[in-house]
């Protein structure tokens, strides 16, 4: 007696149920989409004005992974097509139980100056490196460069760097009055970052006497972030008394927020690092000079540059036993309790800045971006939605399928 029936040779398989077919199709689609997202390209949206006027709030980007080469995941245990949390319930969508070393496959391009780059932020240590927030900035200095800002002017290797994109700076626009023409022209010139100053504003000296009167720099008006072209437009308007570029003077620390790197080498902590000779009082317009580390480069570690290299050696280079010792004004990097006098870098680093120079959280605050945090190159705006416009004017039609440069 046969206990098992052998399926006749060549018999057709039983048909799949509709639910099984849908499940198989969905699984296949998720696998293909995940592979494409990892290896080829990914879509991102611009949430902030830090890259205006090159990239606008509400624009959707295509970011190429092929240019610099895709990098293998560090965190393999995560829900496909999610980042940090699931989109429905906002629950944690990954486990950091397994953390893998990463490898970048060859790309067809190196990271170049003026590339618009998407990368994982160097801070947010509470997340694995490949699951931190993604920022988009312009690479203004590559490994081996010397970077500097003088009165807002970018210098690389001692030479004035050619500007790329539509850079924005902060201006004070003094107006005769707040009227509808101002708001209309702000919209026409795509000025979204502005605030109204108090009427008859006065600046007082230490003795309480008025030091600056109601002139083209102070008084009723607007502080705005806009391009030089837009600033020239406003200078010609009848309701404008004057337009002044706001530049933070050299030698004065940033007047707001945390200290800049390297005075604050562990951003976003607000504490200023112990005094470091020759590196204090940089601001957003006068910054540096600062050398960008290069793979294979050996640097001598001194009290003057310890704050610059400490975080790199500790976190990005994955060295054990690293600590920072402060003795008065002197900083010393230690490894296993002994002073580290020199160091050879294991990877390249980059200096990233937003094109909206006075409204961008970038390398001036948290320092260099290591190569293994780079995601890809922004190449195309495929959709542009104006969050400030009414329904009929939401789509910026002239920006659709606009190349990023």
The reported pLDDT for the residue numbered 255 is: 62
16 is known as an active-site residue: no
Using the 3D structure, point to which of 245, 280, 297 is the last residue of a domain: 245
Using the 3D structure, point to which of 211, 229, 245 is the last residue of a domain: 245
CA torsion through residues 246, 251, 256, 259, sign: positive
**Coil/strand/helix, residue 32:** helix
Phi, psi of 382 (to 5 degrees): -95, -15
263 domain residue, yes or no? no
- Look at the chain and report how many structural domains it folds into: 2
Residue with tokens 């610059």: 308
pLDDT tens series, the chain, 405 aa: 454 455 566 667 677 788 888 988 888 998 999 999 999 999 999 999 999 989 999 999 999 999 999 999 999 999 998 999 988 888 999 999 999 999 999 999 999 999 999 999 998 888 999 999 999 999 999 999 999 999 999 999 999 998 877 899 999 888 877 677 888 899 888 888 787 776 544 433 334 433 334 444 556 788 899 999 999 999 999 989 889 888 888 877 766 556 788 887 666 655 555 545 545 678 899 998 999 999 999 999 998 888 899 989 998 999 999 998 888 778 899 999 999 999 999 999 999 999 999 999 999 999 999 999 999 999 999 999 999 888 888 999 999 999 998
pTM for this prediction? 0.87
| Boundaries of domain holding 206 | 169-245
Q: Which two tokens stand for residue 24?
A: 């198989």
Contact indicator for 203, 212 with CB cutoff of 8 Å: yes
Assign residue 36 the CATH number of its domain: 2.10.109.10
Give CA–CA dist 196/175, Å, rounded. 10
How would you label 283-302 residue by residue, b for 16+ Cβ within 10 Å and e otherwise?
A: bbbbbbebbbbeeeeebebb
Asked if residue 197 and residue 137 are part of one domain, the reply reads: no
**Active-site residue (options: 137, 170, 311, 377):** 137
Give CA–CA dist 144/233, Å, rounded. 39
367 domain residue, yes or no? yes
DSSP E strand boundaries for 213-269: 221-226, 240-245
64 is known as an active-site residue: no
Using the 3D structure, point to which of 245, 273, 307 is the last residue of a domain: 245
The reported pLDDT for the residue numbered 66 is: 97
Asked if residue 122 and residue 65 are part of one domain, the reply reads: yes
């Amino acid at each position: 007696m046969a206990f098992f029936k052998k399926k006749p040779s060549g018999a057709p398989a039983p048909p799949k149920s509709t639910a099984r077919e849908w499940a198989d199709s969905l699984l296949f689609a998720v696998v293909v989409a995940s592979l494409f997202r990892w290896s080829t390209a990914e879509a991102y949206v611009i949430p902030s004005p830090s890259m205006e006027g090159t990239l606008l709030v509400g624009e959707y980007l295509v970011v190429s992974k092929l240019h610099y080469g895709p990098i293998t995941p560090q965190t393999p245990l995560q829900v496909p097509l999610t980042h940090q949390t699931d989109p429905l319930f906002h629950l944690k969508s990954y486990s950091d139980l397994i953390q893998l070393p990463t490898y970048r496959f060859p790309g067809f391009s190196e990271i170049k100056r003026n590339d618009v780059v998407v990368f994982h932020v160097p801070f947010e240590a509470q997340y694995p490196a490949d699951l931190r927030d993604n920022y988009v900035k312009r690479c203004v200095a590559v490994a081996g460069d010397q970077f500097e800002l003088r009165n807002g002017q970018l210098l690389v290797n001692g030479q004035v760097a050619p500007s790329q994109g539509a850079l924005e700076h902060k201006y004070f626009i003094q107006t005769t009055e707040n009227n509808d023409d101002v708001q209309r022209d702000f919209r026409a010139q795509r000025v979204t970052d502005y605030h109204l100053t108090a009427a008859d504003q006065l600046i007082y000296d230490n003795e309480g006497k008025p030091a600056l009167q109601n002139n083209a720099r102070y008084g009723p008006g607007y502080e705005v972030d806009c391009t030089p072209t837009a600033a020239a437009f406003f200078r010609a308007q009848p309701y404008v008394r004057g337009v002044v570029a706001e530049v933070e003077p050299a030698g004065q620390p940033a007047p707001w927020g945390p200290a800049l790197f390297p005075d604050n080498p562990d951003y976003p902590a607000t504490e200023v690092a112990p005094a470091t000779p020759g590196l204090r009082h940089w601001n957003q317009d006068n910054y540096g000079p600062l050398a960008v580390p290069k793979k294979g480069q050996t640097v001598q570690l001194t009290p003057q540059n310890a704050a610059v290299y400490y975080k790199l050696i500790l976190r990005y280079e994955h060295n054990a036993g690293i600590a920072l010792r402060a003795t008065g004004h002197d900083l010393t990097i230690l490894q296993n309790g002994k002073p580290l006098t020199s160091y050879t870098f294991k990877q390249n680093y980059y200096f990233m800045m937003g094109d909206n120079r006075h409204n961008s959280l970038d390398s001036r605050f948290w320092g260099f971006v290591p190569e293994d945090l780079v995601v890809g190159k922004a190449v195309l705006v495929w959709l542009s939605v104006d969050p400030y416009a009414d329904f009929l004017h939401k789509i910026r039609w002239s920006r659709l399928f606009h190349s990023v440069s």
